[in-house]
Structure 1
Amino acid sequence: MTDKVVIIGGGPGGYESALVASQLGAEVTVVDTDGIGGSAVLTDCVPSKTLIATAELMTDVAGAAELGVNFHDQEGDLATAVSVDLGRVNRRVMQLAADQSADIARRLAKEDVQVVRGRGRLDGPGRVTVSLEGEDDRSLEADAILVATGAAPRTLPSAQPDGERILTWEQVYDLTEVPTELIVVGSGVTGAEFASAYLALGIPVTLVSSRDRVLPGEDADASLVLEEVSKRRGMKVLSQSRMESVTRDGEVVTVTLTDGRSIQGSHCILALGSVPNTAGLGLEEAGVVLKDGGFVNVDRVSRTSARGVYAAGDCTGVLMLASVAAMQGRIAMWHFLGDKVSPLDLKKVSSNVFTAPEIATVGWSQQAVDAGEITAEVVMLPLSGNARAKMQGVHDGFVKLFCRPGTGIIVGGVVVGPRASELIHPVSIAVAESLTADQVAQAFTVYPSMSGSVAEAARRLHHI
């Protein structure tokens, strides 16, 4: 008898699990509300990183003179400014997002995954009711249900987005005019990425941070580099400044702080965190335990407290990364359908902050080492001494490795610099496969290359 799987949500946790379930012979239905790909493809990861790709080009152009490249206008005079067509940029962003969504939908169709457009909710054991616009509800039977409904931008009663000048990160792509002064509230990953991107696009940016540093959850040395570079490039960073309200009067947006100060700009992006999309899904009625904030409680193989019900992605609050959502979904289906499965190990997850410079991390952190959670030797090697970095005009950034004393096994790392998201991969492999610093050091690297700094840092961890 063929197992029936119903997946609520078409984001990475949903569509990746659907592909695995179909591959293993299940009959799979995805109940999708907002479009295949979910927020990761349509309003978050793909759009934001496409915007950032344009910002990266602007950053490269800004440093071209150091490499001996000059730009001239039509009259032959030296060009003095580079501008961005934000409307054109955002049209490209949304087209790429739509194209990616369509590619995923075609892949699901090719693998015989049925997609139902509607809003799903659990309705008793092994049953999902789908509300269809303009039609009667549809009932789907399931041997297993996966909840992958994601999360939405958090807002506050005192800071309500209007979609025009006070914006969540999902609304910025409707902008056609370039902000004259942008205020970003929130210095976590989302806030830091947008602040860095719009600064690179030539827009004056003020970043409001309630903590003592930007990216308080990231490596402190990495945060320091980013903050120094951002300030050098003209960003205003207001540390230990908590937002009380955001209001709009015509074309002016005012952010009022709890200490009485206020900042004015033409636009404001709210980066205040996320809330899970778990309301109205019938979860608690079905016996699914929710954690504080409404996140679904899951174990390391994505099981909830209700038999036959799994959950994956941002709605679980485990680690809000598309890669983690996808892996949680795959693990759920491998587990349910009896395939080989390893529980989710967050210490092997690599992540990246797409700022300028980028910050990539994997494994154990400096904070954990300092707190005594793990004993590790640490080497930090600035990129400024790397030959390839010098050629490319890269002055900021570093490679940091953590290894266990005695065994020399690499247990974590941080990379700060251009394309750190690519450079972290050899460190990620080392962590995943428990490679020693000597093994990493003895692997050949290209000369000159940025990756040479990873090998050099490993060599400095060698013990006779």
Structure 2
Amino acid sequence: MASRIVIIGGGPGGYEAAIVARKQGAEVTLIERQGLGGNAVLTDVVPSKTVIATAEWRTIADRAPSLGIRAIDGSDTEEFSEHEVDMAAVNQRISKLVLKQSHDIATRMAKNDVQVVEGSARLLSPTLVETENDRFEADAVLLALGARPRTLSTCEPDGERILTWTQLYDLKELPEHLIVVGSGVTGAEFAGAYCILGSEVTLISSGDRVLENQDPEASALITEVFAARGMNVIGRSRASAAVNTGNGVEVTLSDGTVIEGSHCLMAVGSIPNTADAGLEEAGVNLNKQGFIEVDRVSRTSARGVYAAGDCTGVFPLASVAATQGRIAMAHILGDAVAPLDLGSIAANVFTTPEIASVGATEKQLQERGIFYQVSRLDLARNPRAKMLGIDQGFVKIFGHTVTGQVLGAVIVGSRAGEHIFPLSLAVSQHLTVDNIADAFTVYPSLSGTIAEAARRLHNMTDPQHAPTT
């Protein structure tokens, strides 16, 4: 059994793996060049979701007049619902939260006796890792190298007007007009947040809708919500160039149209941090996109070398990175191993409302020829939602018409990422719709709609058709 483990990268894949390995008695060295927590904590998940949480608070405050809450001075509804956003203060809070989270991880590493080394590392061989100042021999190595924002040569970020999502947190003022290039998860989340915070937002989408890889109904709803909030969504278009004019930006589209704004956010994907890491020399294979090839237990092509997180291109989620890291340690140290099951991954898009999903999509079920039925209920009919003034969103469950097994689900609504858990549990544990329907829910609760949607799939007989409402 391996006793010396070197982990390169201190993000979720790295620090979660380190804790697992130490609890199994291994000697662990974790090498990180930027700070513990990796991109997830320092420049991506924690800061971006904090901005989004701030924006969400504003939508909640704006609902106050409809719930009967009035300003003491008798201000009318419009005046009462207006709030000024101090972007410098928002970003200052983000900086504090990032440092606190990174410090908490450092505390966990120290408590578990993980040796943390600051610096960049590269493989000299599958069993030897080098930093600027030292070399470390290992029985096994975990690569948790992460990824960075993809950029375009004609839209090169400058950190002032043309930005990646890692550079937004240096802004001192709210962008007057933010042009977002890219309508995937990152682009949609930031576009939605800054629109709510008060920026004029133009979102450039290569497809007809934003978030086209999501459930079609969910994607359509978010597209409608964005339009209702005043966002300008330009579909079927791409940015060919972006220029900092000194006091703003000019973004040229593929058809020659020029859009003027104050700032431009490039959200066109990520590229893995696999260059200059000694991977080729160590025999670690990369795919055509530069991601490290791994199997379901996180093994690379090099014996004793494993990989986890965004550098593998498996699924760009912190939760997946952490799971990959834990699986790697279990396999290395001879513990029971449950290979990564991509079919049970739960994901969330932090727009307002959120889109949470788990399991198979309806398109996948159709392509596989699986007999299924859909139960869909609007959240607006839920009593708890009515009390909270929530009138958007739905719960959708896909059930197998023969076994009754929950095959997948989608929730669109406030805190959807919190409410997807029982359906995530159902998919991962192969539970049936009756298992969900028979479990107690609190009344009133938003989760009550999940149980009601499941009850409507009892005794399914008509495949590929939703039950009548």
Please, what TM-score do these two structures have when normalized by structure 2?
0.96
CA distance in 1, matches of 2:227, 2:98: 31
What do residues 336-378 of structure 1 show as CA deviations (whole Å, max 9, x unaligned)? Answer: 0000111000111111000000000000111212324533211
> In the alignment, what sits opposite 1:134?
none
> In the alignment, what sits opposite 1:267?
263
> In the alignment, what sits opposite 1:43?
43
Q: Against the structure 1 CA distance between its residues 101 and 230, is the aligned structure 2 distance closer, same or farther, given a 3 Å change threshold?
A: same
> In the alignment, what sits opposite 1:295?
291
- Kept in 1, the 8 Å contact 2:55–2:193? The answer is yes
What do residues 92-128 of structure 1 show as CA deviations (whole Å, max 9, x unaligned)? Answer: 0111011000000010011010011011000023000
> In the alignment, what sits opposite 1:354?
350
State the number of aligned residues. 457
Task: Name the SS for the 2:153 alignment partner.
Answer: coil
Which region of structure 1 is more displaced relative to structure 2, 431-440 or 269-278? 431-440
> In the alignment, what sits opposite 2:131?
130
CA distance in 1, matches of 2:26, 2:392: 50
CA distance in 1, matches of 2:197, 2:233: 17
- Offset at residue 236 of structure 1 (A): 0.9
Letter in 1 for 2:173: E
Counterparts in 2 of 1:38-117, with a 5 A limit? 38-71=38-71, 77-78=75-76, 79-80=79-80, 81-117=82-118
Indicate whether 1:179 and 2:178 are aligned: no
Q: Against the structure 1 CA distance between its residues 346 and 373, is the aligned structure 2 distance closer, same or farther, given a 3 Å change threshold?
A: farther
Letter in 2 for 1:101: S
Indicate whether 1:312 and 2:308 are aligned: yes
- Offset at residue 71 of structure 1 (A): 3.2
> In the alignment, what sits opposite 2:14?
14
Task: Name the SS for the 1:400 alignment partner.
Answer: strand
Task: Name the SS for the 1:226 alignment partner.
Answer: helix
Task: Name the SS for the 2:102 alignment partner.
Answer: helix
CA distance in 1, matches of 2:358, 2:85: 34
| Identical-residue share of aligned pairs (%) | 58
> In the alignment, what sits opposite 1:139?
135
- Offset at residue 2 of structure 1 (A): 6.8
- Offset at residue 228 of structure 1 (A): 0.6
Gaps of 5+ in 2: 461-469
CA distance in 2, matches of 1:232, 1:175: 26
Counterparts in 2 of 1:311-460, with a 5 A limit? 311-460=307-456
CA distance in 2, matches of 1:68, 1:90: 32
Task: Name the SS for the 1:176 alignment partner.
Answer: coil
CA distance in 2, matches of 1:197, 1:276: 26
CA distance in 2, matches of 1:369, 1:213: 22
- Kept in 2, the 8 Å contact 1:2–1:27? The answer is no
- Kept in 2, the 8 Å contact 1:378–1:402? The answer is yes
Please, what TM-score do these two structures have when normalized by structure 1?
0.97
- Offset at residue 76 of structure 1 (A): 5.5
Letter in 2 for 1:97: V
- Offset at residue 292 of structure 1 (A): 1.4
- Offset at residue 387 of structure 1 (A): 1.1
- Kept in 1, the 8 Å contact 2:371–2:402? The answer is no
CA distance in 2, matches of 1:124, 1:103: 32
Root-mean-square deviation (CA, aligned residues, Å) is 1.2
Task: Name the SS for the 1:293 alignment partner.
Answer: coil
What do residues 407-426 of structure 1 show as CA deviations (whole Å, max 9, x unaligned)? Answer: 10101100000000011011
Task: Name the SS for the 1:295 alignment partner.
Answer: coil
- Offset at residue 130 of structure 1 (A): 0.6
> In the alignment, what sits opposite 1:210?
206
CA distance in 1, matches of 2:459, 2:112: 52
CA distance in 2, matches of 1:70, 1:141: 66
CA distance in 2, matches of 1:212, 1:349: 26
> In the alignment, what sits opposite 1:24?
24
Gaps of 5+ in 1: 132-136
